[in-house]
Amino acid sequence: MIRQAIIPLAGLGTRLLPLTSVFAKELLPMNGKPNIEYILDECIDAGIKEIIFIISNKKKMIKRYFYSDNFYKNIISKKKDKRIKHIYKKILKYKKMIKFVYQNKPLGTGDAVLKTKKYIKDKYFLMLLPDDLIIKKNCSKAMIKVHNTYNSSVMASMNVKKNTVSRWGIYKFGKKINTNNRIISDVLEKPSKKKAPSNSAVIGRYILPKKIFSIISKTKPGVGGEIHITDAIRQLIYRNEKFIAHKFLGKYLDCGSMDGYINSSKEISKL
Ligand code: G1P
């Protein structure tokens, strides 16, 4: 059973400047609701019971968003506004599920994952990257189903244009299990077009084994000088850990860049 999820939120969000000079990108509204709430709702609907946020001192605003009890209590006692009451209830529900850990130096996704080590209880956990929204079909839920069937690690995959491979983690595939699931035989972080083994990209949903922590602590910085989770996953694959790429059925929305954010807001408002 997958009960815990982790969400790296310490990223600076430079691709969304100037908004991110004063604001956490994960709180930017999409059709009136912060981006992060779509991710939380995906987790809750997939049966996740506890979520660990990896934030930084610069991103404390995210914690404040979920911890404004006195503010809400004050408003609600003065104003009988049904909408605010409803929102506060929802925020309280989220707050009860969330734990915070800190990553104050931007050393990469692998390093962010490592910060959650002492909180992970089960053999496997889910990780979601908040820049990647997947709408219309719950990707985490589908991946948990694959995990339960094959008792393996699972990662989301999507075909991308050949000339964009250097922006993503790229899969090399082994055996095909069925239409939407394949064994991963290797994965490369942001390869050149020449070195890319396919045009199938890693999208930010991962079911990872707890044993990845010991691998990350030995993983050296890779592309861009960061410690990548992709590089630790690679090491696990080489040690015969079973990883399945799940080609998800939902619609992918990129929320990490300005063009992507504008487009995602439009798409979400159509739902
Ligand atoms: C991260 C991962 C990359 C993956 C991407 C999906 O990259 O390192 O493997 O393809 O997310 O969005 P980032 O977006 O942090 O550069």
Model confidence at 79, in pLDDT bands (50, 70, 90)?
A: confident
Closest residue to atom 15 of ligand 1, CA basis:
109
Residues 6+ apart with CB under 8 A from 128: 5, 6, 7, 39, 42, 43, 140, 204, 205, 206
Q: Is 4 in the pocket of ligand 1 (CB under 6 A)?
A: no
Q: Which atom of ligand 1 is nearest to the CA of 131?
A: 12
Q: Which atom of ligand 1 is nearest to the CA of 11?
A: 15
Model confidence at 245, in pLDDT bands (50, 70, 90)?
A: very high
> What is the C-alpha separation between 242 and 259, in angstroms, rounded?
36
Average pLDDT of the chain is 96
Q: Is 131 in the pocket of ligand 1 (CB under 6 A)?
A: yes
Per DSSP, 25 falls in state G
> What is the C-alpha separation between 211 and 234, in angstroms, rounded?
13
pLDDT in tens, 83-129: 988 999 999 999 999 999 999 998 999 999 999 999 999 999 999 99
> What is the C-alpha separation between 93 and 122, in angstroms, rounded?
23
Residue 42: count of CB within 10 angstroms of its CB:
22
Q: Is 189 in the pocket of ligand 1 (CB under 6 A)?
A: yes
Nearest to 57 by CA among 106, 18, 91: 106
pLDDT in tens, 7-61: 999 998 999 999 999 999 999 999 999 999 999 999 999 999 999 999 999 999 9
232, 169 Cβ separation under 8 angstroms: no
Place of tokens 């050149």: 192
Distance 169 CA to ligand 1 centre (A): 6
pLDDT score, position 71? 87
Nearest to 157 by CA among 192, 181, 133: 181
pLDDT score, position 144? 98
Closest residue to atom 2 of ligand 1, CA basis:
169
Q: pTM of the full predicted structure?
A: 0.96
> What is the C-alpha separation between 197 and 172, in angstroms, rounded?
5
In CATH terms, is domain 4-269 a member of 3.90.550.10?
A: yes
pLDDT at 271 over 90: no
pLDDT score, position 5? 98
Distance 112 CA to ligand 1 centre (A): 13
Which ranges in the chain belong to alpha helices (H)?
35-45, 60-66, 69-78, 82-97, 109-114, 139-150, 212-216, 229-238, 258-269
Judged by DSSP in three states, 20 sits in: helix
93, 43 Cβ separation under 8 angstroms: no
> What is the C-alpha separation between 151 and 244, in angstroms, rounded?
10
